[in-house]
Amino acid sequence: MPSYTPPRSSQPPTAISFELSLSTHPNTPHHRSSLTPVAFLLRAALITPRKLAINHPERGYSFTYEQWAARCLSLAFALLSVPGFEAGDRVAVISPNAPLIADAHWGIPAVGGIITPINIRNTPKEVAYVLEHSGSTIILCDHEFTHLVPQNPGQGVTVIISKDSGGQDADDGYEKFLDQGWQAWQRAEQAELQKYKARTKPSAEPKTGWKLLYAPQDEEQPIALCYTSGTTGRPKGVLTNHRGAYLAAVANAFEANITQDSVYLWVLPMFHACGWTFPWAVTASLGTHHTIRKVDNAVIWDALLHHGVTHYCGAPTVQIGLTNHPDARKLERRVNVAVAASAPTANLLAKMESLNLHPVHVYGLTETYGPFTRRYFEPEWAQLDVDARARMMARQGHAYPTSDEVRVVRTESSTDKATDDLVDVERNGTETGEIVIRGNMAMLGYYNDPAATSKAVMKGWFHTGDLAVRHPGGEIQILDRGKDIIISGGENISSLMVEQELAAHADVLECCVIARPHEKWGERGQAFVVLTEQAKAKLDLQEVKKNGSKANVELIATLKQHCKQRMSGFAVPEWFDIVDELPKTSTGKVQKNVLRARFASKL
């Protein structure tokens, strides 16, 4: 990387000491401190001030931990300088994985603001809804996504545009904003010094640096407002707090085995549930963040091969693209991969392991700060073939250590779960129930939506809507979202199970199964299949995609026979469509609602 000198807003002071701790509110008991993830950055800057904190090679700049701590303090004071800003205000961030959104995870909560990350793949209409619903008073936006910001965002709303230059562009609005914050920081220190000199009696040294700010008096204070995808209606704003973010970050750092030697590659969008708390988790472990602006397999492989990456997160669809890329080769070092949305298939697992990419299956929601359970490796797996290991890995496992243990409770006893005691399903791997959670890693509630909150939180438990079983070892396994279950002739069919088995066919790259109305059985499975490159090479793809053609009929017969060998006859999909790709969210999750709507329009 060419020589880079950070701007003054991102430089630690040299004339005076740089205080790297937050002030404590008066009357705070000696045995208590408010948990806030902001403390992780200050600790990292204190312990490893010159260690590379965040590397952004695409734009040619990076920061050490002490530089990043100075930069985020400049952001904090810049926010305080915005007329009318006060604690509790929502600050929207529209950005890819660049230092802007990483800075926001520290600077905004440091002054009591609520970070409100917005999906850059949303439409302008969707973004306008989130901005209005959240009541965001400040918008920090990357230059590539200004088209998402309404022309008239509202009275008193401040919009700051970043060119992602790190100060290398004199016209970068975000860098100018940071410099204004730096000046406010200097003025605050001078005011402290003047007060100190004016005192006639000895007193504590004047506050400098981060000591000018206070830790949250209440750790239950909101820290983030993250919006759901809104696949079944308007997106809901999930409100989370400092305490939960701190404990979720600790759990993710521990469970992902992130250390001071780790380099975390930002494939997972930071706008998705605050990057599953990994902005805080990596920093808590003194690791290095490696940011890339978009999911580009060539760029990812360059980072894996040449930048010492040890960790990243991503859905199976991301892994499929990586393992089939021309640059794919076995890595010299082990890379730990957190996989969510669904577990890797046997074919994908074998490919990943051959490249030294080692997946861990995690499960979570925006309402749980991201992952809160994982599948723990069991020694006997070493003796299993890859197909059997993939089946074991498909389970969602157990809760993280900073969360209460997850439960799977019966739903049949009553349609009014609010008035019935929750009863756990048997640990037999067959009885179906709903996953419920409570504790440190559960959301506060849905912002400005008491009806949705009361519907989701009942009898002291958050109801996920995910249907699962519990195995004899206590681990949970999701069968489906409630709305994705296929009910055929009175039988409940897990679309996830069908997908897992169908994807085991050598010609299937990825697939999705939804319910389709059936005159006799009520519903049957409709499969959408994407073929592997090898299958495309040996088959006439255009003919295979034509429903009713000889090639199409023969392939479908082969796929059906494969399914019949692996599942009950009623679970085998009735219909198969061969498609080029599946619609996905920004995190690689297949959008079944889009497929359902697409299919419904043809009926």
6 closest CA partner among 165, 174, 173: 165
Tell me the pLDDT band of 17, cut-offs 50, 70 and 90: confident
pLDDT one-digit tens code per residue, 482-527: 778 898 887 778 898 899 899 999 999 999 999 998 888 888 999 9
Span of 58-62, 202-206, 589-593 with lowest mean pLDDT: 202-206
Question: For the domain that residue 550 is a member of, what is the CATH number?
Answer: 3.30.300.30
Q: Are residues 430 and 500 in the same domain?
A: no
Give 340's Cβ-side CA count (13 Å radius).
24
Domain holding 144, by residue range, is: 8-35+60-214
Residue that has been written with the tokens 């920090």 in this structure: 140
Using CA atoms in the order 437, 439, 441, 443, what is the torsion angle rounded to 10 degrees? 80
* Dist CA 400 CA 579 (whole Å): 38
Residue 401 identity (one-letter amino acid): P
Q: Are residues 517 and 433 in the same domain?
A: no
434 closest CA partner among 479, 388, 394: 479
Residue 368 lies in a domain: yes
- CB within 8 A of 505, min separation 6: which ones? 558, 559, 562
Average pLDDT rounded to a whole number, residues 302-329: 94
Span of 26-40, 436-450, 585-599 with lowest mean pLDDT: 585-599
Residue 264 lies in a domain: no
Q: Are residues 457 and 504 in the same domain?
A: no
From 214, 239, 259, give the residue that closes a domain: 214
Residue 471 lies in a domain: yes
- CB within 8 A of 9, min separation 6: which ones? 70, 71, 74, 167, 175, 178, 179, 181, 182
Average pLDDT rounded to a whole number, residues 157-178: 98
Q: Does the pLDDT of residue 428 top 70, yes or no?
A: yes
Q: How far is CA 296 from CA 8, 288, 303, in A?
A: 32, 20, 11
For residue 425, how far is the Cα from the chain centroid?
A: 29
From 156, 185, 214, give the residue that closes a domain: 214
The SS3 of residue 85 is: coil
Average pLDDT rounded to a whole number, residues 4-16: 93
Q: Mind giving me the DSSP string for 291-350?
A: E-SS--HHHHHHHHHHS---EEE--HHHHHHHHTSTT----SS-EEEEE-SSPPPHHHHH
Residue 49 lies in a domain: no
Q: Are residues 22 and 160 in the same domain?
A: yes
Q: Does the pLDDT of residue 552 top 70, yes or no?
A: yes
Adjacency order of strands within the sheet including 61-64: 61-64, 52-56, 288-291, 263-266, 311-313, 335-339, 357-365, 370-374, 398-399
Residue that has been written with the tokens 């994705």 in this structure: 484
For residue 214, give the DSSP letter. B
Q: Does the pLDDT of residue 415 top 50, yes or no?
A: no
* Structural domain count, the chain: 3
Residue that has been written with the tokens 């948990």 in this structure: 35
Q: Are residues 519 and 569 in the same domain?
A: yes
Backbone angles phi, psi at 591, to 5 degrees: -90, 90
Residue that has been written with the tokens 């603001």 in this structure: 113
Question: Is residue 248 within a helix (H) or strand (E), and if so which, with residue range?
Answer: helix 242-255
Q: Does the pLDDT of residue 414 top 60, yes or no?
A: no
Report the predicted TM-score, pTM, of the whole model to 2 decimal places: 0.88
Residue 438 lies in a domain: yes
The SS3 of residue 395 is: coil
Residue 252 lies in a domain: no
Q: Are residues 565 and 441 in the same domain?
A: no
From 181, 214, 247, give the residue that closes a domain: 214
Q: Are residues 456 and 551 in the same domain?
A: no
Average pLDDT rounded to a whole number, residues 450-469: 94
User: Which pLDDT does position 274 carry in this prediction?
Assistant: 98
Q: Across the strands, what pairs with 352?
A: none
Residue 84 lies in a domain: yes
Question: For the domain that residue 379 is a member of, what is the CATH number?
Answer: 3.40.50.12780
Q: Are residues 440 and 505 in the same domain?
A: no
Q: Are residues 13 and 151 in the same domain?
A: yes
Average pLDDT rounded to a whole number, residues 30-59: 97
Q: Are residues 351 and 400 in the same domain?
A: yes
The strand pair at 461-470 and 457-458 is best described as: antiparallel
Average pLDDT rounded to a whole number, residues 261-289: 98
> Sign of the C-alpha dihedral, residues 385, 387, 392, 393?
positive
User: Which pLDDT does position 419 carry in this prediction?
Assistant: 44
User: Which pLDDT does position 258 carry in this prediction?
Assistant: 98
For residue 311, how far is the Cα from the chain centroid?
A: 14
Q: Are residues 476 and 362 in the same domain?
A: yes
Residue 261 lies in a domain: no
Q: Does the pLDDT of residue 119 top 50, yes or no?
A: yes
* Dist CA 61 CA 74 (whole Å): 18
Span of 114-118, 415-419, 444-448, 598-602 with lowest mean pLDDT: 415-419
The strand pair at 114-117 and 486-488 is best described as: unpaired
Average pLDDT rounded to a whole number, residues 269-283: 98
pLDDT one-digit tens code per residue, 329-339: 999 999 999 99
- 139 or 125, greater pLDDT: 139
* Dist CA 522 CA 228 (whole Å): 31
Average per-residue pLDDT for the chain: 93
Q: Are residues 336 and 478 in the same domain?
A: yes
Q: Does the pLDDT of residue 233 top 70, yes or no?
A: no
Span of 10-19, 30-39, 259-268 with lowest mean pLDDT: 10-19
